[in-house]
């Protein structure tokens, strides 16, 4: 009999599919919010709905040579976690007591939003050294777990993410290069017609 993945591995696998919708030039990040083994919302990083994608408008952070983890204010996009929370708010879905699964650990900005939204657990694959994000999540009693992502998806040529931290180092935060994305689906999504 074939062994089945754990729930964490299953949901982390889905985050990589969500990340494939990202329009960020630097990094593709996907997130899903889950409660009681049910997906509540999804989000990926990229420009806000209705605005030009980063590939069309360009990346100011790239043009200015802004290092990873600095000057989030120069990014036109939203992080995957932010989009997942925005989708919940737009559709009246409470995320209280939920788990956020993400291809990357959250940055400090996303960590604060997750805490205030009532997310109780964060499971991520790729890390980023954001000590404050980790500290705030820990202080708020949010469980912070590093999971394993599917190797075949992480090695796909279109997947770009920050290098993972060596074992035993601080799992830190989120790829600050993660730049937004609506997470919307269906007929109301700006890309529903198939145009990008």
Q: What is the pLDDT of residue 149?
A: 62
C-alpha dist (Å) from residue 158 to 16, 123, 152, 153, 169 = 11, 22, 12, 9, 27
Statement: residue 94 has pLDDT above 50: yes
Helix axes 108-117, 80-90, angle to 10 degrees: 30
Determine whether 155 is an active site residue. no
Give the domain ranges of the chain. 7-154
Catalytic residue among 81, 139, 155, 196: 81
Cα–Cα distance for residue pair 61/55, rounded to 1 Å: 13
Statement: residue 102 has pLDDT above 70: yes
Cα–Cα distance for residue pair 184/53, rounded to 1 Å: 15
Dihedral angle sign, alpha carbons of residues 143, 136, 183, 164: negative
Cα–Cα distance for residue pair 114/43, rounded to 1 Å: 13
DSSP state of 74: G
Statement: residue 155 has pLDDT above 70: no
CATH architecture group of domain 7-154: 3-Layer(aba) Sandwich (3.40)
- H helices of 20-150, in order, are 54-57, 60-64, 80-90, 108-117, 131-139
- Output the average pLDDT for the chain: 79
Element (H, E) at 144: strand 143-146
Sheet containing 99-104: order of strands: 38-44, 30-35, 99-104, 121-126, 143-146
Cα–Cα distance for residue pair 24/113, rounded to 1 Å: 21
DSSP state of 196: -
φ, ψ dihedrals at 179, nearest 5°: -115, 30
Assess contact for 81 and 44: CB atoms under 8 A: no
pLDDT tens, residue by residue, 171-180: 333 333 333 3
Q: What is the pLDDT of residue 172?
A: 36
Cα–Cα distance for residue pair 146/138, rounded to 1 Å: 14
Q: What is the pLDDT of residue 70?
A: 78
């Amino acid at each position: 009999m074939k062994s089945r993945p754990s729930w964490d591995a299953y949901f982390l696998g889905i985050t990589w599919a969500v990340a494939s919708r990202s329009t960020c030039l630097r990094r593709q990040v996907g997130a899903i919010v889950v409660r009681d083994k049910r997906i509540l919302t999804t989000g990926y990083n990229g420009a806000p709905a209705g605005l030009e994608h980063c590939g069309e408008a360009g990346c100011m952070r790239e043009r200015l040579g802004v290092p990873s983890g600095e000057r989030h204010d120069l990014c036109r996009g939203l992080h995957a976690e932010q989009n997942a929370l925005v989708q919940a708010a737009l559709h009246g879905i409470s995320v209280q007591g939920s788990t956020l699964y993400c291809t990357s650990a959250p940055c400090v900005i996303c960590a604060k939003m997750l805490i205030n939204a009532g997310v109780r657990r964060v499971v991520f694959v790729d890390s980023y050294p954001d000590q404050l994000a980790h500290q705030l999540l820990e202080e708020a009693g949010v469980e912070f777990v590093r999971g394993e992502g599917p190797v075949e998806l992480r090695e796909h040529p279109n997947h770009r993410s920050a290098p993972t931290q060596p074992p035993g180092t601080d799992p830190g935060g989120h790829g600050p290069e993660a730049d937004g994305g609506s997470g919307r689906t269906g007929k109301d999504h700006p890309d529903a017609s198939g145009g990008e």
